[in-house]
Chains A and B, each alone.
Chain A
């Protein structure tokens, strides 16, 4: 048995496909590719496959992860090529790595996600119609609050979470004309980019226009032994 981590992209029209359907999609990719993926036992066996933090509909990404268990592989490169040959251009494996024994599964080990968050050109709220330096000052004062309360809707009803220490990076990238953010994405504390932007605009006595954001997930992170953020891609090794 070999545990494999696949980093993949999600672009174009496929950004409208929901997470559950992406999972079903990859099961079919594996069957089409006829790769030697492991199945669970029992009356209705299914592929051993787990996904990192689900991506919201409408978001593009180059930092999606799925862990699969293989009975055998020829090489990481061959597996990657095989997956890509049986996948649509909008979803492609970017890297395939062998996971060291004992690494946690894709979902459980997620710590953070990195985003680029921009505005559609006709829907920039007034508080962001400013110079890059001034926007960065505003973001700094946002972060300087004693607490930043996000109301998270859970199964047990809404709960207040202080996300002040869960925003790991937040700045305006003048050159790229977007916010660059690294946010907690761990299970139970995931911060959606739109929630963050709602809090920021509210703090600035403003609000977001409807469907005004363009969001791109750059990568997803876990933590290394020293507690530092580490791209999930760097946990495994090639062959």
Chain B
């Protein structure tokens, strides 16, 4: 008999032949990095706590994977959350979670890095730790266990998950890991303990070791104080920022998966940060100041990455691509380069204007694509409250031009539950949608209408106040209010003249309530998360696996009043659980924004005028560019 190749795999043939998509667990992809384990001093497992296809699509992990593997003394491997079918088998057969490249157990690694991108993955973090056979609570881990380190946007309020992590890296990963690994090797060589290392690591800028900090509470449940318990540790942890975006790590040869992933394409991150300052948006504050990558560097990256991956699609990534100063030049280059190579360009949501419509008509099939607007609120008054600088004129002018160009599908995104929202604002969603439909019938003569129709899809999500935004003080709507608003919105749409052209979707209210609790939660939430996981919940961003009642029961069992975290009004001077972290934008600025929101006053964006948010303290980016 032919000799089957003897390949080291953590899972047996029996398991791989039984489970869904075994490709998720075998590694061996093009551009995956393998090293001789004996030639490295640090084994780093990088985890996205969700299924492979989601995790593999995340740019941040690709950047760090590339960076770690340029370090000769370190081998960084990937690990994702096993899907429920394999999860069950691993528990039954006591198979420890393994890294994809070496197929070695994670529990033998030096570090387990976990990126935390959304609140609904918190129970997946516990699933990963559990399957890895690493104690779920940091306090139960001993010297042989990997150091569990968290990063990503959710770590700007790490408190609800602080019990599960040895440390957090606050800010952009490119800057301090070298220093951290050097320290780790030094302490490992000297035979120092886990605690010795953590104490020393907590002094590196951007590092937060929760066990060395203590919270005290007032009688009303709010925070009284938050202080380090070990001498010499900082009271404030300032996020890490990449100073030179054009001269840093970037994955020019990212791993190419076999199975189709959510992002099966080359991703070019053109800039970090956003000039806009919408008051509901957390990312817009966390990633300040705005820093662009040099257009020539990006052109070079695009060519190299397409060559190294063989992807047939490229897309741009940033919070607001229309604000990238060299966008026309970059797109011209990409359109030329990509048409030669039969590569498609997918455009991020661009502001709809003559320029973007021209570009879109060159790279997309107009009949198949839709225009996207995100007014977020239905009236100008409420758009002023949220500081969303998009006017009805912008939308109608953009639509008019698009309809004349042949588009006949429009997607509109709104949020329900903004602070200071009235029924009038909700009605405005319906009226604005109707006005867009009317514009179509006005400007496109009957004989030119494809199928004679315009399709408008209105989607509303429910607003969840997030830390480090002007709305961190805002009471969140209750589930009942959310649902009432969605019904009101639906009713208002059915009253419109063009209601037949408008389709309305709204999000799940339960999830938004929970997200709100976790987003502004504190350390008292952690036992509930642990409980819900122990009751069997994970993969909760999949609606079929989300069990809202488990959360309600667990909150009740722990005597936690969830309204405290969501719908409670907060005083201006309340100490928030995340106040010890500085993302650059200071609390005074945010409070002023909160007050301006109440007065319906707008704040100009960073390219118009500096509003002194505090982001300039990093000494880079738009704060110092000539306006």
Q: Does A29 contact B (CB under 8 A)?
A: yes
| A24 close to chain B: CB less than 8 A | yes
**Contact between chains at B17 and A57 (CB < 8 Å):** yes
Asked if residues A32 and B7 are in contact (CB atoms below 8 Å), the reply is no
Quick check: is A30 within 8 A (CB to CB) of the other chain?
A: yes
Contact between chains at A216 and B342 (CB < 8 Å): no
Per-residue interface assignment for chain A, residues 86 to 118, with 1 indicating a CB less than 8 Å from any chain B CB and 0 otherwise: 111010000000000000000000000000101
CB interface residues, B 252-294, toward A, < 8 Å: 256, 258-260
- Distance of A21 Cα from B261 Cα, bound (Å): 11
- Asked whether B2 lies within 8 Å of A28 as measured between CB atoms, the reply is no
Point out the residues of chain B lying under 8 angstroms from A34, CB to CB.
307
The contact of A216 among B4, B27, B28, B29, by CB within 8 Å, is: B4
CB interface residues, B 10-36, toward A, < 8 Å: 13-14, 16-18, 22-23, 26-30
Known: A16-B16, A178-B1. A31 touches B23 (CB 8 A): no
Of A6-14, A73-81, A198-206, A221-229, the one contacting chain B is A6-14
A39, closest chain B residue (CB) = B342
- Verify B310–A216 contact, CB threshold 8 A: no
Q: Which chain B positions have C-beta within 8 A of A60?
A: 2, 4-5
Within 8 A of B (CB), among A30-63: 30-32, 34, 39, 43-46, 57-58, 60
Contacts A27-B312, A31-B312, A58-B17 hold; do A21 and B1 have CB atoms under 8 A apart?
no
Chain B: minimal CB distance from A8 (Å):
15
What is the CA–CA distance of A88 and B312 in the complex, to the nearest angstrom?
Answer: 19
Please tell me if A160 contacts chain B, counting CB pairs below 8 Å.
Answer: no
* Chain B contacts for A214, CB-based, 8 A: 1, 4
Let me know if A211 is at the binding interface, CB within 8 A: yes
Residues of A within 8 A of B27 (CB): 13
Which of A11, A27, A44, A178 is the one whose CB lies under 8 Å from B310? A27
B29: chain A residues at CB < 8 Å are 88
Report if A25 contacts B (CB, 8 A). Answer: yes
* Bound-state Cα–Cα, A46 to B343, Å: 10
Taking a contact as CB atoms under 8 Å apart, the answer to whether B342 and A32 are in contact is: no
**Contact yes or no, B13 A211, CB < 8 A:** yes
Give the residue name and chain of the B residue nearest to A21 (CB): B258
Q: Is A88 a contact partner of B28 (Cβ separation < 8 A)? A: yes
Number of B residues contacting the other chain (C-beta, 8 Å)? 33
Q: Which residue of A lies closest to B310 (CB)?
A: A28
In the bound assembly, the distance between CA atoms of A58 and B11 in angstroms comes to 13
The answer to whether B16 and A28 have CB atoms under 8 Å apart is: no
Q: Kindly state whether residue A176 has any CB partner on chain B within 8 Å.
A: yes
State whether the Cβ of B470 lies closer than 8 Å to any Cβ in chain A: no
Does A125 interact with chain B (Cβ within 8 Å)? no
- A177 near B: Cβ within 8 Å? yes
Instruction: Tell me the B301-318 residues at the A interface (CB within 8 Å).
Output: 306-312
Instruction: Evaluate whether A32 and B16 lie within 8 angstroms (CB atoms) in the complex, with A13-B28, A88-B30 already known.
Output: no
Number of interface residues, chain A, beta carbon within 8 A: 39
B22 and A31 within 8 A (CB): no
Q: Whose C-beta in chain A lies nearest to the C-beta of B7?
A: A12
Does B365 reach chain A (CB closer than 8 Å)?
yes
In the assembled complex, B341 has its CB within 8 A of some CB on chain A: yes
| A18 surroundings in chain B (CB, below 8 A) | 23
Determine the main DSSP class of B at the interface with A. Answer: loop
Cβ contacts under 8 Å, B308 to chain A: 32
Residues of B within 8 A of A16 (CB): 16-17, 22-23, 26
Query: Taking the complex as formed, is B350 at the interface, i.e. its CB lies under 8 A from any CB of chain A?
Result: no
Is B344 on the interface with A (CB-CB < 8 A)?
yes
Beta-carbon contact of B312 and A43 below 8 Å: no
Q: Which residue of A lies closest to B18 (CB)?
A: A211
Residues of B near A90 (CB, < 8 A) are 5, 28
Q: Is the CB of A45 within 8 A of B342?
A: yes
Residue of A nearest to B306 (CB): A31
Shortest beta-carbon distance from B368 to chain A in Å: 9
Whether B365 pairs with A30 at a CB distance below 8 angstroms is no
Is B223 in contact with chain A by the CB < 8 A criterion? Answer: no
Pairwise interchain contact A24-B17, C-beta atoms closer than 8 A: no
CB distance from B87 to the nearest CB of A (A): 18
- Residues in A whose Cβ lies below 8 Å from that of B18: 211
Complex formed: what's the CA distance from A88 to B341 in Å? 23
What B residues does A31 contact at CB under 8 A?
306-307, 309-312, 341
A25 & B258 in contact (Cβ 8 Å cutoff): yes
Contact status B311-A28, CB under 8 Å: yes
Interface presence of B9 (CB below 8 A): yes
Judge whether A127 is part of the interface by a CB distance below 8 angstroms.
Answer: no
Do A13 and B26 contact each other (CB < 8 Å), given the known contacts A24-B260, A32-B308, A86-B310?
yes
Quote the shortest CB–CB distance from B251 to chain A (angstroms): 15
A135 CB within 8 Å of chain B: no
Name B417-443 residues within 8 Å CB distance of A: none
* Cross-chain contact A30 with B310 (CB below 8 angstroms): yes
- Check A17 for interface membership: any CB of B closer than 8 A: yes
Known: A13-B9, A31-B309, A31-B312. 19 other contacts (CB 8 A): A13-B7, A13-B28, A14-B258, A16-B23, A28-B30, A28-B256, A30-B310, A31-B306, A31-B341, A32-B307, A32-B308, A32-B310, A57-B22, A60-B5, A86-B310, A116-B2, A176-B1, A178-B1, A211-B13
A to B CB contacts below 8 Å, 27 in the list: A12-B7, A13-B9, A13-B26, A14-B28, A17-B258, A18-B23, A27-B310, A27-B312, A28-B310, A29-B310, A30-B310, A31-B306, A31-B309, A31-B312, A31-B341, A32-B307, A44-B344, A45-B342, A58-B13, A58-B17, A60-B2, A88-B28, A210-B14, A211-B18, A214-B4, A216-B1, A216-B4
